[in-house]
Structure 1
Amino acid sequence: MTGRITRTVTTLADGRELIYFDETDRADRSGSDDRALPPPPGASELRYDPLLDEWVAVAAHRQGRTHLPPATECPLCPAAGDHRGEIPAADYDVVVFENRFPSFSHRAAPASVAPSELVPLRPGTGRCEVVCFTSAHDSSFARLSPERVRTVVEAWADRTAELSALPGVEQVFCFENRGVEIGVTLHHPHGQIYAYPFVTPRTRRMLASARAHAERHDGANLFAAVLAAEQSGERVVAANEHWTAFVPAFARWPFEVHVYPHRQVPDLAALSDAERAAFGPVYLEVLRRLDGVFGVAMPYVSAWQQAPVRVDRDLAYLHLQLFSARRAPGKLKYLAGSEAAMGVFINDVRPEQAAALLREVAL
């Protein structure tokens, strides 16, 4: 953590942890949470899928989570008048807190019985956190200042390091879902962090590809090769000294942008101060170009691909994958038969066309 951020740790009424990341040392963080809350739920249940060699989380307690409340009842807004949500302060810069409805938790799991020998069970241990990017309810990540994005990066890096050190955590995933079109249940600008008790299927597959590439090419890194192939090409959308954003030649989604640091690092915690500061200008340009393509707020998933905690860190290469399901004004790409059932994506927009449309947006 750099000296520009003041980090304050407190707890909510039910014992969940909350952390303020303030851009000054003058904020008053003495307020407490006086709500009457039930105890947090225990860990979810993991069921093994022997057909795909994957774990599926069953978290039935999440059915009751908050769903698109009015602004006056937003749980991510600061405390004001009679309103009491998840953040007891009257204002904040960036806040991280344990999710009230977690998919993974360090708390004891309820007893359960495996459905069969083929489908063993294990507790869904881990942790899920919410990251609030701003106290302004009607804002968005694209409207943040580069300085605020830097604070968010510091929070991501802090949580990546701390969650990676928890017993049983194998991978940390920082992400943002934006837009009701992709399932957002709260309008307030926020993201999430999952600390998984296993290495995720997508990461395992990418690292297997990276391992095969290294064996064929004298140890060369696959992700670095992808970046080098794109850096001077027609699919670049934005770049600076430390980062390049491009539409990959193999994009699955109508609008998909990958953002790579120019130096191979395993995770956010490994970024230098200069790299952390340089991320915001490039990423904000990408988001604003996305919103400008059709003149409406683009729904998206923004996902940090980080190395596993304990394995294959030498093969991994931190990067951000951002994609939108919007393919045209008023039209969304849905995962239909080929994508949902077989995992074979069919893209309606040529990657080169998508990159050109993004570059043509007047900022």
Structure 2
Amino acid sequence: MAELRWNPLLRTYTMVAGNRQKRPHMPQDWCPFCPGEGKNVPDNYTVFKYDNDFPTLKQNPDIPELEDDDLYRIKENYGKCEVILYSPDHNVTLPQLSLEHIKELIDLWQERNNDLSKDEKIKYVFPFENRGKEVGVTMPHPHGQLYAYSWIPLKIKAELDSCKEYYNKNKKCLLCEMNKKEKNFEKRILIENNNFISYLPFFTDYPYGAFIVSKNHKSNLSQFNDNEKRDLAEILKYLTGGFDNIFDKIFPYMMVVHQSPVNSNEYKDSHKYFHFHIEFYPPLRDKDRIKWYASSEMGAWAATNTLLVEDTAEILRNNIKKFKDLL
């Protein structure tokens, strides 16, 4: 059973999902995501959408067991949880895929985004990837996930409100201005091409917390054409390859797609002021040292970056170049 419980202090929902306790760790001699092995996985695929076997959110939601009131509100766990398989090869990683293969992955993101957006109850579509045991990954087959929420999650809402306020005050897009600022400063730029730019933002709270930002003012995956999707594939490949090159190991991270909401009256004009970008939260600060998100970060949302952004940008930029030179 799963449900949504309202947090009146933060004014957002917590997903309560007892069914997630049943999630398996990877069996030693079998992978449900390899071709033909799982009940929902075909014998042949390049990339593939797989409905999560242990979903927190469902389009046929559970009925909450408790009754709510004005203070402690409860909603059905309406939404969708999907697994996005990156490749049939169990041992490959994202930067090892070809550019055309990664472009097919982005095509699938776009297809799922567009399809789920047709459901009027869905308010936000969120592709993401957890990579590495350091961030709790239990299934090492290359994959990401996609959640479709029936509300707008708090962090996304905070970004939307900041971008809206900036736009109303300055008649400019906040992310567009960030792109200009980083381009002018140069030292935090990692890589760019015709349609996308990647940098370590001035304020990033992880030592290698890179952003990938569209150069064109576009707010949602649905708006990207084939050339833009190829350029996004290129940036994803080279950035993640650069990550792996830093410590000569699989580099753990959380990768999240931030885009405009769907079916939202409150943010119906967000295409004017919100700007598509991808954020990375990599927990390593050294080869075998974790940058923990500890009490200050979790309890007060007061982040501390333990390394100078301009220094780590140079390290990552140089390792992206080394990765490209090896190809």
Pairwise CA distance, 1:185: 1.3
1:99-110 aligned at under 5 Å gives the runs 99-110=52-63
Pairwise CA distance, 1:323: 2.0
Could you say which residue in structure 1 is the equivalent of 2:281? 323
Pairwise CA distance, 1:266: 1.7
RMSD: 1.3
Q: Confirm whether residue 128 of structure 1 aligns to residue 78 of structure 2.
A: no
Could you say which residue in structure 2 is the equivalent of 1:345? 303
Change (3 A) 1:295 1:120: same
Could you say which residue in structure 1 is the equivalent of 2:15? 57
Native 8 Å contact 2:64 2:74 kept in 1: no
Change (3 A) 1:359 1:111: closer
Q: Confirm whether residue 75 of structure 1 aligns to residue 32 of structure 2.
A: yes
Pairwise CA distance, 1:349: 1.2
Q: 2:172 aligns with which of 187, 208, 220?
A: 220
Structure 1 CA distance for aligned equivalents of residues 241 and 117 of structure 2: 32
Q: Confirm whether residue 285 of structure 1 aligns to residue 238 of structure 2.
A: yes
Pairwise CA distance, 1:285: 0.9
Deviations 1:216-242 (A, max 9, x none): 21x111111111111241111111111
- Extract unaligned runs of 5+ from structure 2: none
Native 8 Å contact 1:258 1:321 kept in 2: yes
Native 8 Å contact 1:243 1:259 kept in 2: yes
| Counterpart residue type for residue 222 of structure 2 | A
Percent of aligned pairs sharing the same letter: 27
Native 8 Å contact 2:189 2:199 kept in 1: yes
* TM-score with structure 2 setting the length: 0.93
Structure 1 CA distance for aligned equivalents of residues 61 and 129 of structure 2: 28
SS in 1 for 2:210: strand
Could you say which residue in structure 2 is the equivalent of 1:95? 48
Structure 2 CA distance for aligned equivalents of residues 175 and 150 of structure 1: 16
The total of aligned residue pairs comes to 315
Structure 1 CA distance for aligned equivalents of residues 130 and 64 of structure 2: 32
Change (3 A) 1:114 1:351: farther
Change (3 A) 1:88 1:256: closer
Pairwise CA distance, 1:296: 1.2
Native 8 Å contact 1:94 1:133 kept in 2: yes
Structure 1 CA distance for aligned equivalents of residues 41 and 234 of structure 2: 31
Native 8 Å contact 1:259 1:320 kept in 2: yes
Could you say which residue in structure 1 is the equivalent of 2:291? 333
| Counterpart residue type for residue 318 of structure 2 | E
- Extract unaligned runs of 5+ from structure 1: 1-41
* TM-score with structure 1 setting the length: 0.84
